[in-house]
Amino acid sequence: SLLRRAFNWCLLKCFSEIHTSDMYFPV
């Protein structure tokens, strides 16, 4: 689901604030 993916992306984005990894960004 797009909504669920967006939610997970938000969490991963917040988490990546510390780890700064492009792996978490599904571009």
- Taking the model in full, what pTM does it have? 0.42
pLDDT number for residue 3: 92
| DSSP state for residue 26 in the 8-state scheme | -
Can you tell me the distance from the alpha carbon of 18 to that of 1, in angstroms, rounded to the nearest whole number?
A: 26
pLDDT number for residue 4: 92
For 1, the domain range is: 1-27
Q: How many domains would you assign to the chain?
A: 1
- H or E element, residue 10: helix 2-19
pLDDT number for residue 17: 64
pLDDT number for residue 1: 85
pLDDT one-digit tens code per residue, 1-27: 899 998 888 888 777 665 555 555 555
